[in-house]
Amino acid sequence: MAFDIDRFVDLSKAVETSDLDWDYIKRVGITADEARILRYMADVESHTIIYLRDILSGHTASDPEITQFMACWVYEETHHGRALDRFLSACGYPPEQNRYSKVLADMGWQEHIEAFLTVNVPKLTPHFAATHMSWGAVDEMMAASAYTQLAYYTSNEELSKLLLRMAKDERRHQSFYYQQAEKRLQHPLAQAICATALRVFWNPVGMGVGEDTTLGFIAALLYDDERGREDLARMDRLMAKLPGLGWFGRVSLEVGKAIELFRAKEPERAQQIYAHKQSTMSSRAGRADNPDFALTPN
Ligand SMILES: [Fe+2]
Ligand SMILES: [Fe+2]
């Protein structure tokens, strides 16, 4: 079904948090591991505007469908960041002062190179837009997947509810980017640029945000088991259906590498994470068959 931009803009809204049971959230709380992962996610969400700044410098800025989408997209992502900050604060993990500026100042060299290329390559060819759209599709897919996975594993029912709402938003974003990518990848030059960018530069979202082991830690927590690996493979298969991306397997590869690195660096923590997951299995009774927790469709 074609993506309906008018409907998307009309329905765009901040993720609902006022109806969550905040007393329950304070009482039940979250684990330190969950707090770490949510902090990372909140940071990535809050910095969406920085990606918008880089992206809007090229051909995409002259396409009204894209600009309308992105205006609402950045609004929704900003609210995801605020919702996570509110949740973390209620559980006793408020963001430090000036968190936004601090994260921005700590961005890695890779982020800066990517930003430079994102700003300048589109000036050379309009076919770069296909790369931007494919990149967006895989990032949104991974955001939806990560939220669904954390919603599946947490014992805090209200956190689960909030994360599933955000995952739904991410899937709407994914559907826009994916459809745009499909359309723009018809040209061989678009395919060539996109394949190079994804092979050479693509990494799981927020690679430059947070401490260096954070991504491996998150990967171990959310994907180091059968359900997780299955979801990574499904995301790869979906991306590989795009024109010229039949070779795509970057998600399983990069997340797998992050897990390996984390296991080598912090073997005891990796073991603890696995043991904790096993010991809290009972809190997930019924979730495996609940369609809300379904994995990425093929
Ligand atoms: Fe988001
Ligand atoms: Fe999103």
The predicted-structure confidence for 55-86, as pLDDT tens digits, reads as follows 777 777 778 899 999 999 999 999 999 999 99
**Ligand 2 center from residue 139 Cα (angstroms):** 8
How far is 41 from 147, CA to CA, in rounded Å?
9
Q: What are 254's two structure tokens?
A: 């990069």
Report the run of H or E that residue 215 belongs to, with start and end.
helix 214-223
Q: What is the pLDDT of residue 63?
A: 86
Distance (angstroms) between ligand 1 centre and the Cα of 159 equals 15
Query: Can you read off the two tokens belonging to residue 278?
Result: 């096993």
Q: How far is the CA of 267 from the centre of ligand 1 (A)?
A: 31
Ligand 2: centre distance to CA 261 (Å):
27
Sequence-ordered list of residues with C-beta below 8 angstroms from that of 119, at least 6 positions apart, any chain = 54, 57, 58
Q: Is 104 exposed, middle or buried (0-12, 13-18, 19+ CB in 10 A)?
A: middle
pLDDT recorded at residue 212: 64
Q: Each residue of 5-55: pLDDT tens digit? A: 999 999 999 999 999 999 999 999 999 999 999 999 999 999 888 878 877
Confidence (pLDDT) at 45:
93
CA atoms within 13 A on the CB side of 90: 22
108, pLDDT greater than 80 = no
Q: What's the whole-number average pLDDT of the chain?
A: 90
The pTM score is 0.92
Interval between CA 264 and ligand 1 midpoint (Å)? 30
- 77: CA distance to ligand 1 center in Å? 4
Burial 127-136 (b: 16+ CB within 10 A, else e): bbbbbbbbbb
For 184-234, the pLDDT digits (tens) are: 999 999 999 999 999 998 888 655 445 567 889 999 999 999 999 999 999
Q: Which ligand is nearest to the CA of 163?
A: 1
Interatomic CA distance for residues 221 and 33, integer angstroms: 9
Torsion of the alpha carbons at 29, 31, 32 and 37, rounded to the nearest 10: -100
Q: What is the DSSP letter of 95?
A: P
Domain 26-280: CATH class, spelled out = mainly alpha
Secondary structure of 43-67 in the HEC alphabet? HHHHCHHHHHHHHCCCHHHHCHHHH
pLDDT for position 286: 82
Main-chain dihedrals φ then ψ at residue 204, nearest 5 degrees: -55, 145
- State the Cα torsion 215-111-254-259 to the nearest 10°: -20
